[in-house]
Structure 1
Amino acid sequence: MIRCAASDPSREQSKCFSMPDQSYEEFLASDARTEVRRRRPLRLLLLFLATFLVLQYGWEMSRGTALERVVIHDLTVQPSAWAINRIWPEAGVLAKEHRLVAPKGRLNILNGCEGLETLFLLVAAFVAYPFAWRARLLGIALGVGVVFVLNQARIILLWQAFKHDKAIFGMLHGTVLPLAMIAGCLAFFLVFLARHEPRAQ
């Protein structure tokens, strides 16, 4: 014998119209994340390009100024000379203006070798993407450190290649190391993005 259990209409209606266990704040946050995903890629791209071009133009205008000297000599050449001498004490490298000078040769560190183009790309990415301002500023600050370390490693490798093999130096300088720096910054950005939700729009 089959028994049919009677159902309670009011209980069935409560099941149909029950709301998910979610607070109003969580609902707004979820809706904001949906809006972030709907942002037009073209808008992000234009903001990215505009930021990069403004930064790059400003740096080009600084040629021959005290700012260029600080960035190239004080923040690029001197740390590189210090690092090379720490790794290879016999190198005897000196930082002279925009050059690394040693008994076996000299390497010019000119405008464009300080890693700022890569940094500007990273800053433009943080400006364009809808992070909260605190996360954005944190990402840019950390990005400055990342680019500095990557660029110092690049200069040290170039110094060694310059001493031992000019052909390898040309390949590293023109193609391999610039791409490696961009790849390193991209990896940093993706890791940062995975840990920080974008701000609500």
Structure 2
Amino acid sequence: MFALIYGLCHYAYFQLPNQLLAELIYYQTLTRECAALINAVAPTEGVAAMQNHIVSARADLAIVRGCDGAGGFFLVLAAVLVFPAAMRRKLSGIATVFTGLYILNILRICAIYFISAYQPSWFSLVHVYLAPTLFIMTACGLFAYWAAGVAGVVHVRH
């Protein structure tokens, strides 16, 4: 069931047109927030959000399909949905874990922007290997913590 849900999420995701992702979804959910955070912590960057791009005089970082954290979100969604728990707990778990992953994803994208702008030779290593691995490991950890709370191993308020 896990693989089926995970596969259906990816199938639905790949049915979305790239233009919709770039012009609406990424802009509304990722690039605006990243640009605002970067400008808040480093106002001299002068970053702007343009569709799926975070742009400054130093860098132009494009958020594209596959680099948006969707795989980690789908992984957790499938895991929570198949976990033996009441639907109320599952919905609470999805909301809680997704919120944590969303915040982590914003921080991940901002970090990648700074690497792109100031250490471009590190970009491939961080973008392709380190950041995705950290994101998936964190997704698994958040799920495990939630599942342990639901199972009564740790105390988690819902």
**Paired residues, what number?**
152
Are residues 1:86 and 2:40 paired? yes
1:153: which partner in 2? 107
1:55: which partner in 2? 9
Provide the secondary structure at the position in 2 that maps to 1:71.
Answer: helix
Residues 56 and 195 of structure 1: CA distance in aligned 2, closer, same or farther (over 3 Å): same
1:165: which partner in 2? 119
Q: Once the 2 structures are TM-superposed, how far is the Cα of residue 80 of structure 1 from its aligned partner?
A: 0.4
Match of 1:77 among 22, 31, 35: 31
Partner Cα distance (1:48, 1:195) in 2: 20
Question: Map of 1:3-152 to 2, 5 A cutoff?
Answer: 47-64=1-18, 66=20, 69-152=23-106
Letter in 2 for 1:167: S
Question: Which structure 1 residue ranges, 4+ long, deviate > 6 Å from structure 2?
Answer: none
Letter in 2 for 1:154: R
Q: Percent identity?
A: 24
Gaps of 5+ in 2: 153-158
TM superposition score normalised by structure 1: 0.72
Which protein has the larger Cα radius of gyration, Structure 1 or Structure 2? 1
Letter in 2 for 1:108: A
Match of 1:194 among 141, 148, 157: 148
Gaps of 5+ in 1: 1-46
1:40: which partner in 2? none
